[in-house]
Every structure is written in structure tokens, then in C-alpha cells.
Amino acid sequence: MKKIAICFLIFTIVFVMLSCSKGESVMIDNDRKIANEVFDRTIDSIQFENADILISLFSNEISRSVESIDQSISDLFDYFDGEVYSYDDWGGPCVSTLKEHNSTKQIMELTYDIKTTECEYRLAVQYVSKDTGNSDNIGIQSLYIIKKEDDVFQEYAYWGDGLFAPGIHIGIPNIE
């Protein structure tokens, strides 16, 4: 009887572990798909200087509250040169889920190194993919970009100053 109980217990543990592992894998794959879609749309709008598409990727809250967003977009277009021919992500995105007061907010932080025909860049984005408490928060919250040659810690993933301040930030070196 003990052998049957032990076998049943082992079978149950293995089944639960496999179920969790598969569910987590699906979530990670889905997060990566969302992150890559956000990145692709963001970098296309920058490369082709389409301010309307870029502003639409930002959350409604950021679009309304950051006073200099239009000027920041113009500055970003001036800063970015060349056509993208390759990019690498740093294995992300980093995803966190916050739950408070019956609402759930999912935040993704993604970072990429980008090569263009003219220069190499590093990009970090904070993106809210879900907010059941305020849908106006869904979208890009923060975008950091720097020329790779100007980043002091190139051997690490780029996160700008690590604050993920609202809006667009150009030329901010990686945090120490």
C-alpha cells in the first residue's frame, strides 16, 4: 500500500511540474512575441520617420502627459541614421505583474542592440501590455536610445538610467 501511495505521490508531483513548465513556456513565448512586435513597430516607425505610428505605440496617458513628446519624436528622428539590417535582443523581455486593488498590470522591459547602415544603437523600452485598472496605461511608457559607441557598459544589456522615466530619452548612458 505504501508503494502505491509513494508512486501516486511521485506521479502527481511530476505531472504538476510538467504542467507548470509547459504553461510557463507558453507565457514566455507569448511575451517574447509581444515584445518583438512592439520592437518591430517601434523601430519601423523610427526608421521611416512616421510620427503618427510612433505616437500611437505610446500609452494614451504618456501621449497626453508628456508635454514635449512631439519634440522628442522629432529629436529621435534626427538622432537615428541609416536603415536597420540586424538587431539582437538580450534574451528578454523582463516581465513583471503587479496586482493591487482588484487590478492587474503587466509591464515588459525590453532591450535591443540595433545595427543600421550608418551606426549601431542600443534601445530600451518599457511597455505596459495589460492594465485592468486603467486601459490608458497600455502602450510604451518609456523609450531610451543611445549610440552604442557612447554607452559606457556595452557588455551589459542597455537599460538607460534604469528609471524608465515617461517619454523618450536620447543618449543616456547605461546605469553603472
Domains of the chain listed by start with CATH number: 2-170 (3.10.450.50)
CA end-to-end distance (rounded Å), the chain:
60
How many Cβ atoms sit within 10 Å of the Cβ of residue 139? 20
Res 17: pLDDT = 36
Residue 171 contacts residue 89 (beta carbons within 8 Å): no
Q: Express each pLDDT in 67-87 by its tens digit.
A: 899 999 999 999 999 999 999
- Residue 157 corresponds to which amino acid? A
pTM (2 d.p.): 0.81
Q: And the C-alpha cell for 20?
A: 507548470
